[in-house]
Structure formats: C-alpha cells, structure tokens
C-alpha cells in the first residue's frame, strides 16, 4: 500500500506498539464450548482483543457445568480466567461465590449511543455475569434420509413409528424434561409449573421412557451433526447453530424443527480468584460490546444479547436467529428454576439412566 501515514498516526502506532510490548507477556485463559462456537469467538473477540491490548487469549473447551470451576476455586488453583456459562450456572455459581462480581456501570454504551443497561435485553446483565448470546435447543434431521414427509413438530421426535430410527439426546435432564412434557400435551406456558410437582417429573420420565431404548447420548455440541452425517441417528437434539455451521461449512443438507425450541442465554463470568481478574474484566467488557456480538452472527447465528448488535445483523442471517419468525412453540429456559432444582433432577436423571 502507498497510502501515506501522517505524523499523528505514526505516533499513535508507536504508542500502541509500546503498550502491546508492555503487556505481551500477559495472557488470559477463556473457556468455552468448542467447535464452531469457540471459533466464532476467537475471530470476533479473542483476536481483536489481543490486537487492541497485546494480551494473548488461550482457549480451553469444556462441556458446561460448575464442577471444574468449583474445584479450581476451592483448591485455590484457578486456571480459567473467563468462562462462557449458561444462565442457570451463572446464577447458581454467583450464589455459591464461584465468580467475581462485575461492575455493570463500566459496560460500554451501545454503538448507537444507548446506555448499556437499556441496550442489553432483559435478564442479560447479572451481578456476576454479562450475556453474549442466546442459542436454541432444537430437533434436527438429514433431509436426504427422511423422505417426502419430514418431521415438523416436537412430537415427531418421540414418534418412533412415524419416524423410525435412533434419537440423539444430550445426556442431561435440561431441555429433555421440558420437551417430554410438551410432547405429552403440556402447554409451553405450564411446563415449569408441571415440572415442579412429583407427578410432573414422573410424567416427563415416562415420556422419555418411550424412546429411551433408541437414544444415542451426546455431551459435546459437535457430536449431533456427526451423528446425523453418519446416519447413526434419524433425529437429534442439537444447538441450532451447529446445524447452520454443518450446512454452510461442510455442505450438509440438514434441517431444523423449530417447534419446541428452548432458548438459552450464554454469559461470560470471571472465575473467583483469577490472577488476571482486571484483564479478564476488560475482556468481558470488550467481548460483550456491540461490534463483536454483531460480527459473531456472520459465523454462527446465535442471537446477540444487545439490541444495538441485533440492528447490525445481516438480513440473510436473521431467519436463523432463535425466537425469530419461526413457526411453533418456543420459550426461554427458566434459569432461576433450574438453578434451584438442578441437583435434585440431576440425581433423578442419573437414577433413570441406570435403570
């Protein structure tokens, strides 16, 4: 390039270089869910943050939950600085003292000048966590293997006669219990009211019993598209962005059943006792600003937590955002409910698996 650089810009570049050199030895470990999701974060959050600050981002993957975080905090051996957690774990971990408190007043304004608290969608800013996206749990299938009459509603996932074959299912009670009740006739608005009763829990497990013998369990988000591609399952539960990625990057012809979608917000937290807490907070503030959240949708169609980000999403992507114009039942997971009931239902789920 022959573009001339003015003296002012030269000084800015020089100062930036000095700042980068001064912090080049510092690094942060950011732990997330792996696959296409972490790749999108690396492109729009990790790399730009490093370019701006000189702080290197070391990426780790996990499958969710608080067990590893709790172990690190309790043994005073914190290796993860920032973790991407689901909302129920964000609330629970904050109550248990596993995360640093976050000063929401320091969140940057929206790109449109809006105040940060007003710019984030409701429930996306918490005492210990700042949301970045929401994704949807959906049912998916391979168009080439299903035929002329594909599944169109959640009940089809449980219908082995109409749609024979194995079912991919995540090995945890969340979503599965809600889906079981919805497929058994419980209105979406009443799911948690029913699930809060012993009879409701029993009803959900009875519905799961109807397909238990045909379930192939998965734990990592990359697995469901692989199960579909190999033909090991006919239908699977999946994070909707993984289907988009498989189609766009791998040339697959997978389809999503939007009916019954359950959306889940993901949030960034700073682990209590992080030796890099200040830099970790800076990363969270940067990563949840307008541009990174909008740019992320170019790589995976998860709904940004900010309104100003949503306004910048390309029109071609918007139909893939959860809770958009898709037909069918949908609701956001009741994270507070799960924070209160997770231990009990995890135990019941483990006992059910062992039967």
255 shares its domain with 337:
yes
- Decide: residue 201, CB within 10 A, 0-12 exposed, 13-18 middle, 19+ buried: buried
* Residue 220: closest CA among 268, 168, 176, 296: 168
201 shares its domain with 122:
no
Per-residue pLDDT, 326: 78
Per-residue pLDDT, 324: 60
In a domain, 323, yes or no: no
In a domain, 10, yes or no: no
pLDDT tens per residue, range 271-305: 999 999 999 999 999 999 999 999 999 999 999 99
Q: Are 154 and 257 in contact (CB under 8 A)?
A: yes
106 shares its domain with 147:
no
- Decide: residue 284, CB within 10 A, 0-12 exposed, 13-18 middle, 19+ buried: buried
What is the extent of the structural domain holding 240?
136-263+333-354
Q: Are 290 and 110 in contact (CB under 8 A)?
A: yes
32 shares its domain with 149:
no
345 shares its domain with 207:
yes
Residues 146 and 168: their CA atoms lie apart, in Å, by 15
**What is the DSSP-derived secondary structure letter of residue 172?**
S
In a domain, 8, yes or no: no
Q: What is the CATH classification number for the domain harbouring 86?
A: 3.40.190.10
236 shares its domain with 341:
yes
Task: Count up the domains in the chain and report the number.
Answer: 2
In a domain, 191, yes or no: yes
Residues 256 and 152: their CA atoms lie apart, in Å, by 9
83 shares its domain with 156:
no
249 shares its domain with 340:
yes
Q: Are 257 and 158 in contact (CB under 8 A)?
A: no
Name, in order, each residue with C-beta under 8 angstroms of 144's C-beta and a sequence gap of 6 or more: 253
Q: Which two tokens stand for residue 278?
A: 């200040």
pLDDT tens per residue, range 88-143: 999 999 999 999 999 999 999 999 999 999 999 999 999 999 999 999 999 999 99
Residues 294 and 302: their CA atoms lie apart, in Å, by 10
In a domain, 3, yes or no: no
In a domain, 180, yes or no: yes
209 shares its domain with 339:
yes
* Residue 183: closest CA among 261, 260, 264: 260
140 shares its domain with 97:
no
Phi, psi of 131 (to 5 degrees): -75, 150
- Which residue ranges of the chain lie beneath pLDDT 70? 1-25, 324-325
63 shares its domain with 167:
no
Per-residue pLDDT, 17: 39
Residues 235 and 159: their CA atoms lie apart, in Å, by 11
Q: Are 302 and 322 in contact (CB under 8 A)?
A: yes
Residues 8 and 172: their CA atoms lie apart, in Å, by 57
In a domain, 174, yes or no: yes
* Residue 237: closest CA among 248, 245, 228, 246: 228
60 shares its domain with 199:
no
Per-residue pLDDT, 15: 35
In a domain, 7, yes or no: no
């Amino acid at each position: 390039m022959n573009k001339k650089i003015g003296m002012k810009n030269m000084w800015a570049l020089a100062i930036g270089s000095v700042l980068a050199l001064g912090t080049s030895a510092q690094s942060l470990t950011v732990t997330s869910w792996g696959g296409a999701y972490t790749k999108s974060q690396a492109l729009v959050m990790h790399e730009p943050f490093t370019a701006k600050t000189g702080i290197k981002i070391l990426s780790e993957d996990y499958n969710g939950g608080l067990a590893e975080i709790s172990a690190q905090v309790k043994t005073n051996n914190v290796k993860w600085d920032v973790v991407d957690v689901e909302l129920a774990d964000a609330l629970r971990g904050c109550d248990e003292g596993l995360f640093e408190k976050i000063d929401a007043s320091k969140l940057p304004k929206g790109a449109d000048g809006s105040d940060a608290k007003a710019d984030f969608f409701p429930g996306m800013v918490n005492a210990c966590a700042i949301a970045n996206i929401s994704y949807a749990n959906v049912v998916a299938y391979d168009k080439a293997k299903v035929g002329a009459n594909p599944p169109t509603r959640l009940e089809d996932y449980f219908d082995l006669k109409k749609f024979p074959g194995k079912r991919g299912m995540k090995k945890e009670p969340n979503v599965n219990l809600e889906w079981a009740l919805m497929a058994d006739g419980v209105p979406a608005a009443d799911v948690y009211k029913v699930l809060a009763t012993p009879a409701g829990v029993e009803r959900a497990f009875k519905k799961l019993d109807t397909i238990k013998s045909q379930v192939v369990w998965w734990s990592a988000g990359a697995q469901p598209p692989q199960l579909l591609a190999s033909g090991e399952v006919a239908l699977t539960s999946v994070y909707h962005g993984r289907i988009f990625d498989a189609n766009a990057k791998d040339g697959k012809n997978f389809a999503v059943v939007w009916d019954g979608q359950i959306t889940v917000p993901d949030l960034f937290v700073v682990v209590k006792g992080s030796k890099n807490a200040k830099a970790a907070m800076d990363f969270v503030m940067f990563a949840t600003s307008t541009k990174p959240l909008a740019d992320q949708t170019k790589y995976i169609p998860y709904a940004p937590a900010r309104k100003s980000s949503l306004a910048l999403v390309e029109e071609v992507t918007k139909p893939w955002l959860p809770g958009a114009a898709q037909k069918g039942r949908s609701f956001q997971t009741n994270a507070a409910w799960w924070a209160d009931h997770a231990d009990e239902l995890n135990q019941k789920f483990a006992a059910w698996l062992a039967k």
